[in-house]
Structure 1
């Protein structure tokens, strides 16, 4: 029995140590849910179901794939060296569209974002994450976010690019509160799996795939 306890403790210790190693290449899996204080809006959000996303990262490049049965597929590919992002959208209403834009925040973007480092931490998948409280305007609406980030994941996050260097680390968990059509909407996103694996450079190809047309005005 004593030997079993010692072996179990050693295994637990090895998991904790490996979880704290910095990861510069791999795959993240996240789940996102939405709810509202408005009954009608909440019913619509629940009908959409849970949104799943997969993020691939390698050096200064990142790719996020989001899938939802109602809204379709969205892929964002970011090249940190050129500060460019390719967004691919495939949904039942607009078809296959793409747009290319800069991830470099403008002066206006930075003026509309207030970031406060919180006094809380949250452990997610063995990583101790630091709280950040973010207030910003998005499409004229006030948005508040509570992020928990780790400096052990070396990846670009599309959720923090508009904040410049005001938020340190990669968010493994965040909540967002916003108002839309008079209803409050709460969004929660959490990384539920981290795989330290090699990722093909093809995942970060910034060339729009065949069959996608450029969004008008972009």
Structure 2
């Protein structure tokens, strides 16, 4: 009986510690893209899964993705200035950037629907709340299923257009969209979370030298 009690206490302590808020650190996630289009799926299968490394502090984040299809993509979200900087670099297109204002108006939120589900999912010891969302912008509809944890109160790329309708960072996400007539699903799963010190300098949204504005192309 004493042994069972100790094991139960240990399991409970691990669960409680896993739910503590993390205000800065590193998140590693894996992305898988799938489609019913056989030709496109064959190309995606050659690329395989992709890995994104996200550094965050407070509600600001910096994510880096590097793969043969997109090249290197860096996304910086600054929660203080409400700006998002995207840097793209690949041999075909060169170096490009875009800066967007991520502050949302009431008009912006009219195209967003969010439904809080009754389900939860446990990812890396974190209990995550389910949300189902739909966004329509410039005639393009994006449907998402997100499982978020409030233990990481940082804005993600998936939640920048949702305002305060969703709380927490998604540790699991399914994003469905149509690209050039092809239905695609992007599944993202967080595989590692590491608390660590992160410099605020990483969240500067000033475009670096040598990059061209995407809107000018």
Provide the TM-score with structure 1 as the length reference: 0.90
Distance 1:74 1:215 in 2: 13
Distance 1:77 1:119 in 2: 32
Check 1:145–1:216 CA distance in 2 against 1; reply closer, same or farther (3 A cut).
Answer: closer
Corresponding position of 1:78: 77
Q: Is the 8 A contact 1:57 1:156 kept in 2?
A: no
Corresponding position of 2:94: 95
Distance 2:162 2:5 in 1: 46
Superposed displacement of residue 160, structure 1: 0.7
Check 1:106–1:43 CA distance in 2 against 1; reply closer, same or farther (3 A cut).
Answer: farther
Q: Which structure 2 segments of 5+ residues have no match?
A: none
**Cα deviation 1:171-204 (Å, max 9, x = unaligned):** 1111012223333211100111000111122322
Superposed displacement of residue 213, structure 1: 2.5
**Cα deviation 1:72-111 (Å, max 9, x = unaligned):** 1111111111111111111222111112110112444312
Corresponding position of 1:154: 153
- Runs of 4+ residues deviating >4 angstroms: 2-11
**Cα deviation 1:196-215 (Å, max 9, x = unaligned):** 11112232233323322222
Superposed displacement of residue 170, structure 1: 1.1
Superposed displacement of residue 8, structure 1: 5.3
Calculate the aligned-residue CA RMSD, in Å: 2.1
Superposed displacement of residue 67, structure 1: 1.6
Q: Is 1:175 matched up with 2:170?
A: no
Kindly tell me the number of residue pairs found equivalent between the two proteins: 217
Distance 1:35 1:142 in 2: 17
Other structure's SS at 1:14 match: helix
Other structure's SS at 1:159 match: coil
**Cα deviation 1:13-64 (Å, max 9, x = unaligned):** 3322210101111111000001111111211222232111011111232111
Q: Is 1:214 matched up with 2:208?
A: no
Q: Is the 8 A contact 1:49 1:68 kept in 2?
A: no
